[in-house]
Each structure stands twice: as structure tokens, then as C-alpha cells.
């Protein structure tokens, strides 16, 4: 309802409300003193926020994954190569350049995760592995698919794997995963 000038006189009613059960409230007006001892009301409600995140100098690495390519970083001076984005060499500190890594590698080690973050919760249990690329100084953390996480095997260590990419990129590091060669 609005007044003659169009200024709202009351809030519009909605079709939804917060469901609260057993909300204590004293008989008015004689028991107002009881309000001092009232416990806090706790309400659970959904909350949404759009979070804007920048990959900054790592953006080419994410763009590579979105296009089915794993990029590595290679030192211009000592030629150390890393399968994750690095602006500078871990050994000598010189600037790195982008290089294309092969889609085939080996499992260095793995673990079976029975719990995970919200991103991976529907996939539990899943296999998390460290991937070893020939000629790289460090390992790439990724998921190993195509194996049974309920039957882990030491035969997976050293197993040749190949990279697979999400058909519809989420522009996240999880766009790449690995499967046994020939799967």
C-alpha cells in the first residue's frame, strides 16, 4: 500500500518465509524480564556470491588445459622444466618460457581419497596421483581415472598414463585427468 505521493506504507508480502520451530517467546507484557535469558535465534539460510578470480600469469596454463594441451614452464638459462606454471626457475631464479608437454607420462605415486572437497565429493572415493613427465623436475598433482579406487594396487606406480581433458572446460586445473594408456 502507498500514500498519495506513491511512497510505500508497508512492505510487500511474499509467498515464502523462514521456517522456525519452537521459537520461545514469553507471554506479553508480564514476562518481558524473561527475554534477558533468551538464547540466540540461529537461522540457516542459503547464501550466494559471485567470486571473481584471476589466474594472472598462470592464465596460459589454464587456457592450454581448456584446449587439450598441457603447458610446462622451462627455464631459459638452466633448462629445468616444470609441469605447472612458474614465472621463474626454482633453482636459478631466471625467467621461464612456456613449452608443450607430452600427453603421456607415468604415475609417480598415488593415494585413494575417501573424502574430498565439495568439487570432488560426488566422486568419492577417487584416486589422486602425482604424474611424472620425462624431463621435468617436479610432479603434477591430478586425478587417475580408469582404475578401481576400491582395489588399489602398487602396480599403478610407474604405470604409463595419458592425459584426458574435460569436453566442456570449467577453466580449472581439474580440467585434466589421467587414464592408463590404452584405456
- What residue spans define the domains of the chain? 57-180
Task: Write down the pLDDT at residue 45.
Answer: 80
Say whether pLDDT at 21 is over 80.
no
Task: Work out the pLDDT band at 1, boundaries 50, 70, 90.
Answer: low
DSSP β-ladder status, 96-100 and 104-113: unpaired
Say whether pLDDT at 162 is over 80.
yes
Choose among 113, 130, 120: nearest CA to 172: 120
Local structure of 114: helix, strand or coil: coil
pLDDT, mean of residues 153-180:
94
Q: Which three cell numbers stand for residue 178?
A: 589421467
What is the C-alpha separation between 153 and 130, in angstroms, rounded?
15
Question: Taking the model in full, what pTM does it have?
Answer: 0.73
DSSP β-ladder status, 96-100 and 71-75: antiparallel
Higher pLDDT, 13 or 60: 60
Cis omega (within 30 of 0) on the bond before 125? yes
Amino acid at each position: 500500500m502507498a500514500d498519495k505521493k506513491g511512497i510505500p506504507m508497508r512492505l510487500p508480502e511474499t509467498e515464502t518465509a523462514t521456517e522456525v520451530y519452537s521459537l520461545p517467546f514469553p507471554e506479553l507484557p508480564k514476562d518481558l524480564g524473561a527475554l534477558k535469558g533468551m538464547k540466540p535465534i540461529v537461522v540457516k539460510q542459503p547464501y550466494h556470491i559471485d567470486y571473481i578470480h584471476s589466474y594472472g600469469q598462470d592464465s596460459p596454463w589454464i587456457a592450454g588445459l581448456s584446449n587439450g594441451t598441457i603447458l610446462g614452464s622451462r627455464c631459459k638459462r638452466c633448462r629445468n622444466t616444470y609441469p605447472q606454471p612458474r614465472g621463474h626457475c626454482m633453482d636459478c631464479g631466471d625467467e621461464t618460457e612456456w613449452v608443450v608437454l607430452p600427453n603421456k607420462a607415468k604415475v609417480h605415486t598415488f593415494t585413494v581419497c575417501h573424502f574430498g572437497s565439495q568439487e570432488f565429493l560426488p566422486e568419492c572415493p577417487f584416486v589422486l596421483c602425482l604424474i611424472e613427465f620425462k624431463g621435468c623436475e617436479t610432479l603434477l598433482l591430478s586425478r587417475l581415472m580408469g582404475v578401481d579406487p576400491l582395489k588399489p594396487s602398487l602396480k599403478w606406480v610407474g604405470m604409463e598414463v595419458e592425459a584426458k581433458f574435460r569436453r566442456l572446460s570449467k577453466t580449472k586445473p581439474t580440467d585434466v585427468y589421467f587414464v592408463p594408456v590404452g584405456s
